[in-house]
């Protein structure tokens, strides 16, 4: 099986640093599964606004089309906001996932009340973006009972000590005061911290389930391919890119 992991941002030292947790996320996959990784040729470094997602989306779609031509059996777009996921599904004939829907689908198997922590510092644009993502997926709206910010921007999430302290406190409060049964990390760049976070919460006696969207989404994608499932909507349009005026 060949999977494509699209990093939907420009290739810079900062974005490479932010994605250093990818090898840990790949641990959950079958050893025979091949995963190729690529950045966009150009674009923003972080997708934390509607404008940035809109600007990077054509590059994401182009990368998805190229991945299918190169033999990918499934495609994962590495961002919690699911940028251009629906667009890619309309253009390729293989399953496509992003971080949000795959994480929420898995969370529904773990409980009914979710807490979500996203990058940023009480950012109105970030709040608006998350609201739009939830609005596009209304089936999950009632399950998300709490949300908050990391107080670290996307490209600052490598600050392990600060991030771990923030996530652990949020997890405990969400479980104890809000009766949440699942904590969802709202950025795939947090994948590197999952083991330390789970271990720390266990030592504190906090049993909330912690769900990390990168490894979850990749495993779900692999399972779709194995089971012969597909979420492509390419059959609803007829050679869409052939209609493009160049």
Is residue 235 very low, low, confident or very high in pLDDT (cuts 50, 70, 90)? Answer: confident
Instruction: Give the distance from CA 224 to its chain's centroid.
Output: 17
Rounded Cα–Cα distance for residues 243 and 240 (Å)? 6
Residue 139 corresponds to which tokens in the numbers above? 């089936």
Tally of CB atoms within 10 A around 12:
12
CB within 8 Å of 171: residues ≥ 6 apart: 115, 183, 197, 201, 206, 208, 210
pLDDT digits (tens, 9 = 90+) for 54-71: 999 999 999 999 999 999
Rounded Cα–Cα distance for residues 102 and 196 (Å)? 22
pLDDT exceeding 90 applies to what percent of the chain? 89
CB within 8 Å of 14: residues ≥ 6 apart: 45, 155
Give the global pTM: 0.94
3-class SS at 146? strand
Rounded Cα–Cα distance for residues 157 and 164 (Å)? 10
Residue 177 corresponds to which tokens in the numbers above? 């005061």
Residue 173 phi/psi, 5-degree rounding, is -65, -40
pLDDT exceeding 70 applies to what percent of the chain? 97
Is residue 4 very low, low, confident or very high in pLDDT (cuts 50, 70, 90)? Answer: very high
User: What's the chain's Rg over C-alpha atoms?
Assistant: 17
Q: How far is CA 4 from CA 60, 67, 73, 77, in A?
A: 12, 6, 8, 8
pLDDT digits (tens, 9 = 90+) for 181-220: 999 999 999 999 999 999 999 999 999 999 999 999 999 9
Instruction: State the pLDDT at residue 244.
Output: 63
């Amino acid at each position: 099986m060949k999977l494509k992991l699209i990093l939907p941002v420009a290739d810079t030292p900062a974005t490479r640093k932010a994605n250093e947790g990818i090898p840990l996320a790949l641990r959950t996959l079958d050893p025979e599964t091949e995963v190729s990784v690529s950045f966009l040729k150009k674009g923003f470094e972080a997708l934390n606004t509607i404008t940035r997602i809109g600007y990077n989306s054509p590059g994401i779609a182009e990368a998805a089309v190229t991945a299918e031509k190169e033999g990918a059996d499934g495609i994962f777009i590495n961002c919690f906001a699911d940028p251009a996921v629906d667009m890619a599904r309309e253009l390729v004939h293989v399953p496509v996932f992003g971080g949000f829907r795959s994480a929420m689908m898995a969370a529904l198997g773990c409980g009914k009340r979710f807490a979500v922590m996203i990058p940023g510092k009480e950012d109105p644009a970030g709040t608006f973006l998350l609201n739009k993502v939830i609005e596009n997926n209304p089936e999950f709206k009632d399950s998300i009972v709490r949300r908050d910010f990391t107080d670290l921007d996307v490209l600052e999430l490598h600050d392990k000590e600060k991030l771990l302290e923030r996530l652990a406190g949020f997890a405990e409060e969400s479980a104890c005061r809000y009766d949440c049964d699942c904590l969802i990390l709202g950025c795939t760049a947090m994948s590197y911290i999952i083991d330390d976070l789970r271990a720390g919460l266990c030592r504190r006696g906090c049993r909330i389930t912690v769900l990390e969207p990168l490894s979850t989404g990749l495993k779900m994608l692999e399972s779709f391919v194995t089971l012969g499932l597909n979420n492509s909507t390419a059959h609803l349009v007829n050679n869409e890119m052939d209609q493009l005026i160049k």
